[in-house]
Amino acid sequence: MKKRIAVLASGRGSNFQAIIDAIGAGTIPATCVALITDNPTAYAIERAEKAGIPVKVIDFRSFPSREAYERALLAAMQEARADLYVLAGYMRILGNEVVRAFPGKMVNIHPALLPSFTGLHAQRQAILHGVKVAGCTVHFVDESLDCGPIILQKCVPVLDGDDEDTLADRILEQEHTAFPEAVRLFCEDRLEIAGRTVRVRK
């Protein structure tokens, strides 16, 4: 039985596209049932429409408060009835009520080797800190910022002369491999959360 996945994205959606492509290739045993976005001009919408994926736009600016927005977001997520919710460049911090509604059913990708460099501008943080290795992390989402149990990580070297943009481009290449891989493992029922550790079943 194929899993149902829903994607939340705010921008260009290149990780969303990597997941769409993996589903199309049969690598991920799932159906993408929805794109949910807070940005009515997100390029991710065009990607979804090309793939025949239903789009739900919940424009943050049209709500009187964050609480009202999150109620609408939660309703849209529940309506999707997904087995997995994938945060692919979704640029808003989810409230605790939303996170608690989907325990162990929401994953995010972050452009750093967590627990280092949480939050915004992770690549810039890495450059400023002078690290020699950077990368990306796919993790389950919990109520803490970028601190949920880690599913997998990919590394890249930080080269002399790198700036935030060149490092981000190198990390993004790995994101496009890591995220579909993590989603595939979930959809194959191979991930087991044990405290802070995620074990991958053979």
Q: Is the dihedral of CA 167, 181, 32, 100 positive or negative?
A: negative
CATH homologous superfamily for 3-189?
Formyl transferase, N-terminal domain (3.40.50.170)
Q: What is the pTM of this model?
A: 0.96
The C-alpha atoms of residue 8 and residue 78 are separated, in whole angstroms, by 13
Annotation says 139 is catalytic: no
Exactly one of 110, 121, 139, 176 is catalytic; name it.
Answer: 110
Whole-number pLDDT of residue 50: 98
Q: Return the percentage of the chain with pLDDT > 90, whole number.
A: 98
- Of 65, 50, 83, which Cα lies nearest the Cα of 189? 83
Judge whether residue 145 has pLDDT over 90: no
Average of per-residue pLDDT across 17-38: 98
